[in-house]
């Protein structure tokens, strides 16, 4: 089979490999679609935490079952996977939080992922296709990240929710914040992304820091209160640190984006707000099921997010272009 390996930052190589064999408790998959996400782009650029080279990327997957003994699943069935492989015994797993298992192995990050023709995965990670298309199946995981962030924030109806970053993850966060009944404010430097968010992600307000004073705009929108929920979906250090200033007294700040460096904020300003700071890591099976339900009910139109399609044989030469803001990429999908 053919695989594409990120051998070092900004370097991909194709390699012929043996087709894996499904071991005990595993399922062999034929990969059909691979979504390209921020994790893949950060790994390519060399600034992804929890990452080492060489690595086969790819964790937003749609596949067909080739071999399995998993109960309730059949050969030839379309599926996706929950790509966060957990131990099942650590403190986090025992608390029902396998998404932040102490021994977590994320497919395509800690271990090799799905940027290849066949992949063997733990059978417990399988998720039924539920009649969705392969493109929709490959989009469940990034939307589940957004759904989990909204669950962590405890978003309530009528709240003002700021989402910083209108990339694919941020757009998903916005969708689920809107479904929860909040008034969503999108912040991004990219005006085209903001326009996309308003058209497709249930966003009520947009703010572009290059042309507007963010603090003044947020005060105007919220009647001087400031937003009670702020969610970072950028993973950008300056953006994360700056967004502490957007938070209302008594508010919650959730970090969905991931940054390698230390974050810094004024303790007195944070303390006087009795603010809450949370991280949101990965997603749970419950989040995946919720996303599937939202897709099937038409609450989200996932296919509108796919702006670019790339053949697997061409991705090595086209990957760099996905980083270019002028390319207007929202979500790129690799076709096997």
How confident is the model at residue 322, as a pLDDT? 82
pLDDT tens track for 131-140: 999 999 999 9
Question: What domains appear along the chain, each with residue ranges and CATH number?
Answer: 2-129+301-335 (3.90.180.10), 145-279 (3.40.50.720)
Confidence of residue 15 (pLDDT cuts 50, 70, 90): very high
pLDDT at 274 exceeding the cut of 90: yes
pLDDT at 44 exceeding the cut of 90: no
pLDDT tens track for 278-327: 999 999 999 999 999 999 999 999 999 999 999 999 999 998 888 776 77
Backbone angle region of 287, left / alpha / beta, with phi > 0 → left and psi within -120 to 50 → alpha: alpha
Report the chain's mean pLDDT, rounded to a whole number: 95
Confidence of residue 67 (pLDDT cuts 50, 70, 90): very high
pLDDT at 43 exceeding the cut of 90: no
Give the rounded distance of the alpha carbon of 318 from its chain centre: 21
pLDDT at 49 exceeding the cut of 80: no
Whole-angstrom distance, CA of residue 86 vs CA of residue 75: 24
How confident is the model at residue 55, as a pLDDT? 95
How confident is the model at residue 39, as a pLDDT? 82
Mean pLDDT for the stretch of residues 221-247: 97
How confident is the model at residue 289, as a pLDDT? 98
Query: Strands 60-67 and 78-81, how do they pair?
Result: antiparallel
How confident is the model at residue 259, as a pLDDT? 87
pTM, two decimal places: 0.95
Do residues 80 and 283 touch, judged by C-beta distance below 8 A?
no
Integer angstrom CA distances of residue 329 from 158, 164, 291, 306: 31, 18, 22, 8
From 14-23, 91-100, 316-325, the region with the lowest mean pLDDT: 316-325
Confidence of residue 253 (pLDDT cuts 50, 70, 90): very high
Do residues 38 and 168 touch, judged by C-beta distance below 8 A?
yes
Q: What percent of the chain has pLDDT over 70?
A: 100
pLDDT at 177 exceeding the cut of 90: yes
Query: Strands 11-16 and 2-8, how do they pair?
Result: antiparallel
Mean pLDDT for the stretch of residues 39-52: 81
Question: Helices (DSSP H) in the chain: which residue ranges?
Answer: 38-45, 91-94, 134-153, 168-179, 191-200, 214-221, 237-242, 267-272, 285-297, 315-318
How confident is the model at residue 41, as a pLDDT? 83
Confidence of residue 103 (pLDDT cuts 50, 70, 90): very high
User: Among candidates 179, 111, 105, which has minimal Cα distance to 149?
Assistant: 179
Integer angstrom CA distances of residue 66 from 20, 27, 81, 121, 299: 11, 8, 14, 12, 32
Mean pLDDT for the stretch of residues 83-99: 97
Give the rounded distance of the alpha carbon of 329 from its chain centre: 15
Mean pLDDT for the stretch of residues 7-27: 94
How confident is the model at residue 116, as a pLDDT? 97
């Amino acid at each position: 089979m053919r695989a594409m390996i990120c051998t070092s930052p900004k370097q991909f190589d194709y390699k012929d490999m043996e087709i894996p064999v499904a071991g005990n408790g595993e399922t062999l998959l034929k990969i059909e679609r691979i979504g390209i996400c921020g994790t893949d782009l950060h790994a390519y650029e060399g600034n992804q935490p929890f990452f080492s080279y060489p690595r086969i990327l790819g964790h937003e997957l749609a596949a067909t079952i080739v071999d399995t003994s998993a109960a309730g699943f059949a050969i030839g069935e379309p599926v996706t996977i929950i790509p966060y492989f957990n131990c099942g015994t650590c403190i986090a797993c025992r608390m029902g939080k396998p998404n932040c298992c102490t021994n977590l192995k994320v497919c395509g990050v800690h271990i090799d992922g799905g940027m290849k023709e066949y992949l063997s995965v733990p059978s417990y990670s399988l998720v039924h296709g539920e009649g969705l298309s392969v493109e929709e199946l490959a989009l469940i995981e990034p939307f589940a990240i957004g759904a989990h962030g909204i669950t962590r924030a405890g978003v309530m109806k009528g709240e003002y929710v700021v989402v910083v970053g209108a990339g694919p993850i941020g757009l998903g966060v916005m969708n689920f914040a809107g479904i929860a009944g909040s008034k969503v404010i999108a912040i991004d430097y990219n005006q085209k992304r903001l326009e996309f968010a308003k058209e497709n992600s249930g966003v009520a307000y947009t703010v572009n820091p290059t042309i507007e004073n963010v603090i003044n705009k947020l005060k105007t929108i919220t009647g001087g209160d400031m937003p009670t929920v702020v969610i970072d979906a950028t993973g950008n250090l300056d953006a994360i640190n700056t967004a502490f200033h957007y938070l209302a007294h008594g508010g919650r700040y959730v970090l969905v984006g991931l940054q390698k460096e230390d974050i810094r904020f004024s303790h007195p300003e944070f303390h006087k707000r009795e603010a809450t700071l949370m991280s949101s890591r990965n997603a749970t099976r419950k989040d995946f099921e919720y996303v599937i339900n939202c897709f099937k009910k038409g609450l989200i139109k996932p296919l509108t997010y796919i702006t670019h399609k790339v053949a697997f044989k061409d991705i090595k030469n086209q990957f760099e272009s996905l980083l270019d803001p002028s390319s207007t990429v929202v979500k790129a999908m690799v076709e096997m």
